Amino acid sequence: MKTAFLFPGQGSQSVGMLSVAAESWPMINKTFAEASSVLGYDLWHLCQKGPAEELNQTMVTQPALLTASIALWRQWFAAGGPRPQFLAGHSLGEYSALVAAESLDFVEAVKLVRLRGELMQEAVPSGEGKMAAILGLEDADVIAACDEAANGDVVAAVNFNAPGQVVIAGLAAAVDRAIEACKAKGARKALALPVSVPSHCALMQGAAEEMGRALDEVRFNDAVIPLIQNVNAAAVTDSATLKANLLKQLYSPVLWADSVRNLVASDVTVAIECGTGKVLAGLAKRIDRELAVHGIEDPQALKTALAANESS
C-alpha cells in the first residue's frame, strides 16, 4: 500500500496559519525567512498579523501557501517521515509538489508564484472576472450550462473538484448567466466565490505567454517522485512534460477528482495534506471514502499522520 502527499491551493490561507507549528518547529520560521529574503518583505509577519485583505491578494497568497507547504514538507522528514510514492497539488499546489519532487528549486518557485499571481491579477481587471462554485450538478450539465450562457463571452468549468462540486470561471456577466443556467438544471447551490481572478480559463492565455518566458529561464529536473498533474490527472516524472503541463495549467481545467481517483487506482491508501486547512481532505471524502487523508499542520496532527503512514 502506498502514500501520497497532496498540496493545497488558494483558499487554504488564513491569518495566523501555522502559528501553533512555529512554536514547536524552527523549520517553519526558517523556511519563511528564506522566502522573505526573496520577496523583499516579511512573509511570516504578514501571515500572522494580516491584514486578511493583503494576505488574500493573489500575488501574496501564492508565495504564502507555497512556503507553508514546503515548511511542512521539510518538517515531515525532520520528524522521520518516509518519502511518499506519489505527489499531487491542486492548482497553485502543483508548484509545491514540484519543489517536493526536486524538479523545481524552492527559491525559484517563490519567484515564479509571485510572478504568477501578478500576471493573473493583471490579466483581467478587478471586477471584470468571476468564479463560482456549482454544487449538486453533474459535470456534463455544468459544462452545458456554461456553453449555453457564453453568448460569445468566456465562461467555463475550470475545477472538477469532486462529484457534484465544480467551479466555473470567466467574465463576470457570463458567469452570472451560467449560475442561473446551472440553477435551472437543478444545481443544489450556485454561489459566487470571493475572488476577482478567473483562474484556469481562456482569460489567462495572455498571462501564460509571459509565464512561459519566465519558465524557460528556470531549470526543471526530472521528478524523483511521480507527480499527478492537474491538466491530465496522469503521473509524470520527465522535466519537459512537467514544465509544459505546468504552463498549460494556467488556462486549463484542474482535473482534481480524476487525480485522486488515479492515486487510489495506484494503490494509495493514505494521503497527507501538506499545507494549512482541510480543503483537500474534504474533497477526498467526496471522491473516495476509502482514502484516508491526514493533515500535518501541528505537532499532534503530524504524530497521527506518521502513525497512519506506518500502518498503511
State residue 11's pLDDT score.
86
Evaluate if residue 108 carries a pLDDT over 70: yes
Q: How confident is the model at residue 125 (pLDDT cuts 50, 70, 90)?
A: confident
| Three state DSSP letters for 215-237 | HHCCCCCCCCCCEECCCCCCEEC
Told to judge if 24 belongs to the known catalytic residues of this protein, a careful annotator would answer no
pLDDT of residue 98: 98
* pLDDT tens, position by position, 33-88: 999 999 999 999 999 999 999 998 889 999 999 999 999 999 999 999 999 999 99
What lies within 8 Å, CB to CB, of 294 at 6+ separation is: 270, 271, 272, 273, 281, 301, 304, 305, 308
pLDDT of residue 126: 83
Tell me what percent of the residues of the chain surpass a pLDDT of 70.
99
Residue 165: the pLDDT is 97
For residue 91, indicate whether it is catalytic.
yes
Choice among 200, 252, 259, 294 that is catalytic: 200
Distance (Å, whole) CA 194 – CA 131 = 8
Mean predicted confidence (pLDDT) in 168-174: 97
Are the C-beta atoms of residues 258 and 160 closer than 8 Å to each other? Answer: yes
pLDDT greater than 70 at residue 312: no
Which of 170, 150, 149 is CA-nearest to residue 159?
Answer: 170
User: Would you state the pLDDT for residue 196?
Assistant: 66
| HSE (side-chain half, CA atoms, 13 Å) at 264 | 15
Q: How high is the mean pLDDT of the chain?
A: 96
User: Stretch 2-17: mean pLDDT, rounded?
Assistant: 95
Question: Domains of the chain by range and CATH?
Answer: 2-123+203-311 (3.40.366.10), 129-196 (3.30.70.250)
Note the Cα 197 to chain centre separation in Å: 14
Distance CA 271, CA 194 (A): 28
Catalytic hit among 12, 36, 69, 91:
91
Q: Is the pLDDT of residue 210 over 80?
A: yes
| Full-model pTM | 0.96
pLDDT at 311: 76
pLDDT in tens, 240-295: 999 999 999 999 999 999 999 999 999 999 999 999 999 999 999 999 999 999 99
pLDDT score recorded for residue 310: 83
